Amino acid sequence: MKTMAALLLIACGLGAGLFEAMRLRARERELRVFADALAALKSAAAYTSGDLYALLELCEDNDFLRLVRRDMEPYDAWTQASRMFFTRQADRALADAFLRGFGKTDLEGQLAYMQLFETRTAEALEVARQDVRLKCRLYTMLGLFSGTVLALILI
């Protein structure tokens, strides 16, 4: 019975470590998709004059942009999409900040504004990639170690 409990504790610790590693990878994926969304919107804006919904029609293949509903006000639809898509509040705030300044200037200003947010997203993506590189194995081993220590204490 103690052996089964020990194995269960080890498995739980390992599972917790793997879950944290999975969250880091998910954040990296989310930011990569959002960076692609910004690049697609910038490209569409450079060749088409139109509102946000006209640009979204040209960029339907992006997972984030697909979540922006066309039957709502643009700001509400974008905010709802960012809440559904991003797991971290800081990444949601970055996405929401983009829309607050979108459409406020001429085309040249818009392209510069989009470039600014592409840069900010690229910086956040680099941090997420470093976290994956540095912390995934650490969390996995820490979970395994913690489960093993608890099992040894209980035996």
pLDDT tens column, 66-120 = 998 888 888 899 999 999 999 999 999 999 999 888 877 787 888 888 999 999 9
Residue whose token pair is 């941090």: 127
pLDDT tier at 50 (50, 70, 90 boundaries)? low
- The model's pTM: 0.83
Q: Tell me if 9 is assigned to some domain.
A: no
Range of the domain at 51: 28-135
pLDDT tens column, 97-110 = 998 888 777 878 88
Residue whose token pair is 């960012």: 82
**144/86 Cα distance (integer angstroms):** 28
Q: Tell me if 123 is assigned to some domain.
A: yes
Question: For the stretch 10-30, what's the b/e string if a residue is b when 16 or more beta carbons lie within 10 angstroms of its beta carbon?
Answer: beebbebbeebbeebeebbeb
Q: Tell me if 154 is assigned to some domain.
A: no
Phi/psi at 146 (5° precision): -65, -45
